[in-house]
Amino acid sequence: MRGPLDDIVVLDLSRALAGPHAAQMLGDLGARVIKVEHPDGGDESRGWGPPFVGPDQGISTYFLAANRNKQSIAVDLKSDAGRELIERLVRRSDVLVENFRTGVLDRLGLSVERLHELNPRLVVLSITGFGHDGPEGGRPGYDQIAQGEAGLMSLTGPPGEPYRVGASVADLLAGIHGAYGVAAALYERERTGRGRVVRTSLLAAVTGVHSYHGTAWTVGGRVPAAGGNHHASIAPYGAFRCADGMLQIAAANDGQWKKVAALLDIDPDMAKYATNRDRFAHRDELIADMEKALAAHDRAYWLARLGEAGVPAGAIRSLDEVYAWAQTRSQGLVVEVEHPVLGPIELPGPPLRFDGLDGVKHSPPPALGQDGDAVLRWLTEREELARREELER
């Protein structure tokens, strides 16, 4: 089965999460992704857990999350033979992904200038913690550090107590932004014939999704603060207690609010609840009034009534519930692959679907170095084909 990038070759020098996630996204679109790992242990995320699975509990589920649809080769980038192999692969690749600290590729003899000397059409994706330049460029960056430095933790959790987002969202957003930049650079290359460097960082990725929180400060002069499980600008919009737990209700306009008010027997036109501005100003009172009414019935009852009324509402699911949910599976968000050690396993699936394409056939995350011989055969074939084409010209 073919994907939109089935003629693209990606050389993935990255490790941990941001770079591997970007490369995995490109692989989900059909690209051949060759993952380069150090022979001694490979990608550090192979050792991150728990949980670990397999007969000897030696396989990291963390690694499995970011490395499907890839081939693995073991290469020591500091050795002459390793650098020679990477240079050969660079000549036959379309994209190189790296998330080393600033200057590391230069010290390995693989500067941007050298990469483009080897292959002028190469698109290079470079992901750093805080940017490749500037007064703090080159700082090492991990997800939670970036969540704090980029302000996300100040917006998350109960008021006055910063919380990290549960998923490694700085890494993942950097990977998503990076893949998006690569797609744009590949499109530009069709016009110019030349590749370029695409740069992003964990800092840039999180700052880039501040959205209305950002403009609250840059335009409105107000520093946003954490609001727990309720929206920073809309009311009622958040998590509410009912008889047997919590449910979520999002009334984003006055029409939706009137439907909620009718179900809960609240006067929607009283002065303090008439408009979103009024409701937000009296949000604590509004939450109390709503929860008093919601306490009369359980979650299932209210979700059914809200659904009938056309009000956006939902449960708060645990991950086992998410992956068992028929809607999740209907969207291709769970894929099954045949792992050489674990057998058939399910992985979180890609978030994109293309009309008219069934998508790529997914392969399991590779064992360290398992594809060395296959990649060398493919590389030799590509080099021989290039030589014949050159002779014919």
- The two structure tokens encoding residue 309: 């009324």
Instruction: Assess contact for 248 and 316: CB atoms under 8 A.
Output: yes
The CA angle 105-107-112, to the nearest 5 degrees, is 40
Rounded Cα gap, residues 350 and 25, in angstroms: 7
- The radius of gyration of the chain from alpha carbons, rounded to an integer in Å, stands at 25
Of the CA atoms within 13 Å of residue 351, those in its CB half-sphere come to 7
Q: How far apart are CA 328 and CA 390, in angstroms?
A: 50
Q: Is the bond preceding residue 50 a cis peptide, omega within 30 degrees?
A: yes
Three-state SS at 313: strand
Q: Is 171 in the active site?
A: yes
Q: Select which of 171, 244, 371, 373 is catalytic.
A: 171
Q: Give how far Cα 99 sits from Cα of 17, 20, 135, Å.
A: 9, 9, 19
Spatial neighbors of 162 by CB under 8 A, at least 6 apart, are 148, 153, 154, 156, 226
Catalytic residues: 171
